[in-house]
Structure 1
Amino acid sequence: MSDDSERGSTDDSGRIGGVSRRRFLAASSVSVAALSAGCTGGGDGGSGDSSNDASGGGGSSDDGGSTAGSAGDDVEDIVIYLTPGTPSDVRGRYEPLIRMIDGEIDTINAEAKVLGSYSAIRPALQSKQGEIGMDDITLLSAPDFFDVYGTSVTGGSAFYFSVMLTNEDSNIDERSDIEGKTMAFADRLSTSGSIFATYALQQADLDIGEAPQGQPNDFEGVWSNHDVALEKLGNGEADAATTWGGNGLPHIPEKYKSEFPQRVLDKSSFIETLDTEEPKFRPFWFSFPIPKQPVYARKNWDSPNKEKIGELLRNSDEELVKQYYPEDYNENELPFSTLQDTSIDDYQPIIERINAVGLELGEL
């Protein structure tokens, strides 16, 4: 198994063997030039499905946050865009967060939506169809347009990992073994499920061609979402898959834990989920720690509820969030407990990889 041991390094080589809470503005720390590389559009990722039936009430108005008369004259409908994926699964993971916002702020009626791809989030926010987003790619594509509340923390960690998996009987032991084979990815704009993995394969001297925007030359790539990527690996439609640690670790048998890099053992908040789901896969690469998703609001959302939400999220903790668990909620899947103060500099390694693989976020 190869790994990516240097957090700020641009070299993704090697082998596995061995809070303050205050608001910051992304625009103040990032130049437009630094973000000139990014995504050209659409991705064919995600399920292609969009969701309108999440927790909370009745949808946003043309202004993306109008007063909801049915819920009371002072109650504002807001839309929160979650990370793309299988809508029912994503909504289920984030349900405690949406319930908490609804329950703790009586002037808000929150609705969560799951769009079909990352490329759909920024246009939706810029057209005032929603107020809040929770992914790094949208933020990095237009930092001047957003105010950032902070970086998500779960299990005491503000970091997560990208992981490459294969079947246990596979002859794939390192990234270079992907040559001539099929790799399943998440959304084309997924940091952990596409961008980091594509860059890591490039660093292993594989010709990535136009990936992740198009097809690589030295291997075949198929893009969908995190869940479908693992399904393709399990069904024999792919020889390997890449996903984020929280999605992949449950499929890794406990016996491989001794081969994990120490940074994964130290900073992953999903170690306890090892060996809890079928089918079973073998890991052969881990990234360095990636900052978890930022939570941000569009800058032109002029409402006192904007800061109310920020204050709530910065001061929440697991005990508060647990009060809003639905029945039979799997707390190992909790994607948020509080926010950590951060700097856009923490996302610089992501920007470097975006640039290296030739994405153009400014055209997202």
Structure 2
Amino acid sequence: MMERRNFLKSTGAIGAAGLTATAGCIGEFGSQPYGDGTLTFVMSPTEPQDYMESQYEPVREYLAEQVEDDVEVELQYANNYSAVLRALGEGNAEIAETGPFAAALGVKGDQCEIALQRYAYGGWTYFSVIVTNEDSNIEEPADLEGKDIAFAATTSASGSLYPLYMLQQAGLNIGDAPMSDDGADFNATWSSHAQAFEALKEGQVDAAGVGRFITWDYEAGDYKEGIKEVEQTSDIPRAPIVVSPELSDEKADMLVSAFEEAPDEIYYGADGEEGTEDDLWFGDVREADLETYQPVIDVANDLGVESDLLDEGSE
């Protein structure tokens, strides 16, 4: 069993320095230390590869328009968060989309710099919830002792770290979670937001710890039919876009500016139509740094989670 410890200490703001708007093309990504003439955008494994490639194709095309003609822009799909950070830290990739937990660890290990925060579903922050079925007699987290709970991926902030924190705050022993449910006061499984929520709806588990977005009816402004809330945490910062620490400040600034000035169409997916299945889940970005994600760092520290979680994969 691995030794549990704090993975990050509170820090000051760290990020891509001087993120000011810069006109013109990005250019010169083929020069040293990037001698292959390629600007690489890495995708974290939060969805199947083909689906994410379709989602991010307009981003690739847009960046290709910004760089010099002799620079190729490519998408790469990582097997896990460790692979994302390793590519950035070793200078094999320039930019990536990733999760809050992974980004904070990447900054700690000098493998990335946080550059941008993403906007979605009407806000820069979002909710983590523990939910159950409407006819359940579960009313509060303490009622989940001895129950079956489905979570999203082990490294998910809203679908694992924060639900576990809510259970811990309610007095339940979380044992070795999120690595396993050994020693926990409940039985746990980890998969994805969608799978965890489906398991709840099908009656396979007593509760689900997930991001509220998967449970919410946005038209009605309430939970989806048949679902009730057990507990929630709000104001979780939405996931970042990070850049390689090997980039010069000028190149990092140019990438940031390109995203800040990008047209809405880059979020519409390969079919180019808004409101279809291949839309990106976010629709805007703004400048950010490590301080933006301090709430996630604090929760991870309280849980004593290990950086080894990044090898486990998605979300």
Per the TM alignment, residue 361 of structure 1 is displaced from its structure 2 partner at its CA by: 2.9
- Aligned partners of 1:205, 1:253: CA distance in 2, in Å? 35
The corresponding residue for 1:133 is 96
Q: SS where residue 349 of structure 1 aligns?
A: helix
Kindly indicate whether residue 159 of structure 2 is the aligned counterpart of residue 196 of structure 1: no
The corresponding residue for 2:271 is 326
The corresponding residue for 1:354 is 300
Q: Which runs of 5+ in 1 are unaligned?
A: 1-23, 29-60, 69-75, 258-273
Q: SS where residue 176 of structure 2 aligns?
A: coil
The corresponding residue for 1:153 is 119
The corresponding residue for 2:43 is 81
Q: For structure 1, which segment, 283-292 or 193-202, has the greater mean C-alpha deviation from structure 2 after superposition?
A: 283-292
Query: What code does the residue aligned with 2:266 have?
Result: V
CA distance 1:147–1:339, change in 2 (3 Å): same
Deviations 1:229-281 (A, max 9, x none): 2232233332221222333324x893x72xxxxxxxxxxxxxxxx75xxx853
- Aligned partners of 1:84, 1:218: CA distance in 2, in Å? 28
Kindly indicate whether residue 183 of structure 2 is the aligned counterpart of residue 207 of structure 1: no
The corresponding residue for 2:129 is 163
CA RMSD of aligned residues (A): 3.5
Aligned residue pairs, count:
279
Query: What code does the residue aligned with 2:284 have?
Result: T
- Aligned partners of 2:249, 2:291: CA distance in 1, in Å? 28
Q: SS where residue 148 of structure 1 aligns?
A: strand
Per the TM alignment, residue 93 of structure 1 is displaced from its structure 2 partner at its CA by: 4.6
What's the TM-score once normalised by structure 2's chain length? 0.73
Identity of aligned residues (%): 26
Query: What code does the residue aligned with 1:359 have?
Result: V
Query: What code does the residue aligned with 1:185 have?
Result: F
Deviations 1:11-39 (A, max 9, x none): xxxxxxxxxxxxx84399xxxxxxxxxxx
The corresponding residue for 1:240 is 207
**Partners of 2:127 and 2:233 within 8 A in 1:** yes
Query: 1:225-236 alignment to 2 at 5 Å?
Result: 225-236=192-203
Per the TM alignment, residue 352 of structure 1 is displaced from its structure 2 partner at its CA by: 1.1
What's the TM-score once normalised by structure 1's chain length? 0.64
Per the TM alignment, residue 141 of structure 1 is displaced from its structure 2 partner at its CA by: 0.9
Kindly indicate whether residue 282 of structure 2 is the aligned counterpart of residue 336 of structure 1: yes
CA distance 1:240–1:347, change in 2 (3 Å): same
Query: 1:1-364 alignment to 2 at 5 Å?
Result: 25-26=14-15, 67=36, 76-82=38-44, 84-105=46-67, 107=69, 109-134=72-97, 135-143=99-107, 144-154=110-120, 157-215=123-181, 216-250=183-217, 254=220, 257=222, 275=224, 281-301=227-247, 306-316=252-262, 318=264, 320-321=265-266, 326=271, 330=275, 334-361=280-307
**Partners of 2:115 and 2:288 within 8 A in 1:** no
- Aligned partners of 1:207, 1:170: CA distance in 2, in Å? 22
**Partners of 1:178 and 1:219 within 8 A in 2:** yes
- Aligned partners of 1:363, 1:213: CA distance in 2, in Å? 7
